[in-house]
Structure 1
């Protein structure tokens, strides 16, 4: 008996949806892939603060790098950036894995995978900024047609979507569409002092309270 093989053709491509650069790109990128809403930062910052405040044992000073109370106040400040801690909390809040692709290294950090959630969303990170990844049905199709939530298969992958996303990330890497945070040059928007790398920027911010930096060549 001849075995029938069914081949499914995937229409469309993975695209990068740009999120405004306003210090809340992580939260708004998550808002877009989860809810098709690019303006959820204030709400999601509240979610994170409430989660952290509700479990001071788990979210201790050793874990957060600052006291629980100080962190909750800090994350509610719209000028503060998010990172791994916030993505982990938001993965659990939505009950979906969050895959964050780093352009410079093409590494994918997967949040929520230990919970074996059945769906996944994808972000892309250039060293300073997060954007959203989506499956668009055709070139130039409106964002309203984007697919941003993908089913996780029994092998814990999302199938061909995963390789399409990685191809896009590698293409962005070839185009050097990232910032080398160890060696990039920044100028303080307040006092105009130049600093090199994320470490010097953090030290300047801690010493002066200035958090408005612009990259320059």
Structure 2
């Protein structure tokens, strides 16, 4: 196996999870709206599986919510998309270096990988050499009998460690944000959410 594992940056437009999945599954960074519809259809057609307790809101409300291009995806959406593509999705958290594996135990034959920095998802790919064009990327990896994807897995972990060392993540519990509307400073995701709920302001900028 020759090559390097690289981080492919996905634009920050509130749909990074969907476009990152589009890239690793289909080499297409513009799948967000289509994949939002896939998720809404899957969730809407199975209210027994996708209950209010699971979704955090009534099934019908969730289906309308996920179609809004300003809404972010997370664990629920990754589990639905893993099933849709019948592939495992490994999401590496840069800050904790933890790997969340979606689709585990379903006997899928292939796996794709994402990087999560606390706010944003990027794609992980195997490139023949540093600086090679994206069209040469390999993003789908065969799962071996030991449930690993071979040497690529340790290369991916090295990438995660490197990004962690560079602090290429946002500590969502302690990061400082300023409201772009009223300029009030808040600390962490919890305060940002509370401020947004109290004021309706959702335009935050990170500041150090």
The offset of 1:209, in angstroms, is: 3.0
1:54 aligns with 2:31: no
5+ residue gaps, structure 2, are none
TM superposition shift of 1:192: 2.6
Matches within 5 A, 1:22-171: 22-171=13-162
Secondary structure of 2:173's counterpart equals coil
Following the alignment from structure 1 to structure 2, what is the Cα–Cα distance between the partners of residues 22 and 40? 13
Alpha-carbon distance in structure 2 between the residues aligned to 1:50 and 1:170: 37
Distance 1:80 1:189 in 2: 18
Q: Write the distance in 2 (CA, Å) between the matches of 1:81 and 1:142.
A: 28
| TM-score normalised by length of structure 2 | 0.97
Aligned residues: CA RMSD: 1.0
Unaligned stretches of 5+ in structure 1?
1-9
Distance 1:179 1:112 in 2: 26
Contact 1:126 1:177 in 2 (8 A): yes
Alignment check: 8 A CA contact 1:122 1:133 kept: yes
Report how far residue 141 of structure 1 moved: 0.5
Count of residues paired in the alignment: 208
- Higher gyration radius (CA): 1
Aligned to 1:3: none
**1:207 corresponds to 2:198:** yes
> If the length of structure 1 is used for normalisation, what is the TM-score?
0.93
Partner SS state of residue 113, structure 2: strand
